[in-house]
A and B are shown apart, each in its own frame.
Chain A
Amino acid sequence: MENLYGAHYYKLLSFKDNLEQKISRMEQTLEAFYGTNLIDHTMGRIKSEESVIEKCRKKNIEVTPDNVVANIRDIVGIRIVCTFVDDTFKVRDAIREFDNIKIIDEKDYISNAKPNGYRSYHMIVQNEEGYYAEIQIRTISMDTWAALEHDIKYKKDINVNKELITAELKRCADELASTDISMQTIRNMIYGQL
């Protein structure tokens, strides 16, 4: 890792830690405000060398520490997994209020799913030193779906009909999205918010 990112590596690590701390504090604040925990779990990572090299090759970027840090915006990645759909947007709103963090870009794949059925909320953020991070917010069922989709995308030797798998995964994504909304609706009914 230090070879690839050079002197940036420890800066990236501390940015990741800093974001995780901010999110942990946000989680406590939200829990105090809403009276229930909105976040099931959070995980952070630094992008692996092979993924970065692969991405540089695709984007036609020469692999130097400065190039990599300036052009690849998800080297620091944080994933926040929520229990209910509405919570993802509450978490997003709270992240927009973070001190010393600039929101560079947002993509709402929850309201507008990708054609394959992928759903998640993506935010690209930047700290004062200019380092980028990607924050993904999704529900447990969106996370389950993405895990399986990831396995299939990167498993080279699948001996089954790929079109069938793709279509079936899309069907599952649309069923899970539907169930997520039903669970949210039932929850709202229980709490007298319908």
Chain B
Amino acid sequence: MKILLAEDTKDLNHAVTVLLKHEGFEVDSAYDGQQAMDMIANNGYDAVIMDIMMPKVDGITVLSNMRQKHNMTPVMLLTAKSDIDDRVAGLDAGADDYLTKPFAMKELLARTRALVRRGSSDDPSDKLTYEGLILNGEDLSLSAENTVRLSLKEYELMREFMRNPGRDLATDYLLWKIWNNEQDADEDTVWLYVSYLKNKLRAVVTVVNIKGGKGGSFKLSDE
């Protein structure tokens, strides 16, 4: 499970990072809103923990920006203020949870676990859509003009792309997320499965395609 922690107070950022790592999470740290936005654009995270008050770009803007791009990664906001308006603005912008500073580390951990659980609880009847393309979890079908049935692995990979449209997903990230870093899986495996999906997208006749080459990052695109 990979988490982005965006917090400009260096000591607090460091303390929370150490704690989350100790709990078994993989953690990336950002120290301002712009950095957080860049990291979100270039990686897939299972959850984002983010301060509202940050230099350059504030947390609510980063969050609104994510949701506008259909990035539904669960987000928990941290706020120094106990201001109700601040919390309402955060939740309205698409936050899944918030925590007021100062907080107990125990509570932060419990809320993070809940946040990550929420993100990974898959409703199998879920349908994901993107630009007229439909991925149906009930029968593993991919449809636009035509329909094809995917294998389970293809479906899991496609679901990851559909959840992160327009974002670069690195080969290493996909090996970790979809293949659980299995011994036999390597960049050839990822490339073959991405190629399956590229060709199947063409077969169902859609503008949606996957950009990127072997060993690099891949991105679901509608261009």
Q: A interface vs B, CB < 8 Å? A: 111-113, 171, 174-175, 177-178, 181-182, 184-186, 188-189, 194
Contacts and interface: CB of A to CB of B under 8 A. Distances in A.
A111 to B, nearest CB: 6
Interface in B173-202: 191-192, 195-196, 199-200
Interface stretch (B89-97, B119-127, B144-152): B144-152
A175 B147 CA distance: 9
Contacts of A178: 148-151, 200, 203
Given A174-B148, A194-B195, 6 more contacts: A113-B146, A175-B149, A177-B203, A178-B149, A181-B148, A194-B192
Nearest to B148: A178
Most buried by B among A182, A186, A189: A182
A67 to B, nearest CB: 37
Contact of B145 (A112, A189, A194): A112
A181 B199 contact: yes
Given A113-B146, A174-B149, A181 B192 contact: no
Interface of B: 139, 141, 145-151, 191-192, 195-196, 199-200, 203, 205, 214
Contacts of A174: 141, 147-149
Chain A at the B interface: SS class: helix
A181 B149 contact: no
B146 A189 contact: no
A69 B163 CA distance: 56
Contacts of A188: 195
Given A171-B149, A175-B149, A178-B149, A112 B192 contact: no
Contacts of A182: 151, 196
Contacts of B191: 194
B205 A181 contact: no
A184 B146 contact: no
Contacts of B150: 178
Contacts of A177: 146, 148, 203
A189 B193 CA distance: 11
A181 B196 contact: yes
Nearest to A85: B203
A178 B202 CA distance: 11
A175 B150 CA distance: 7
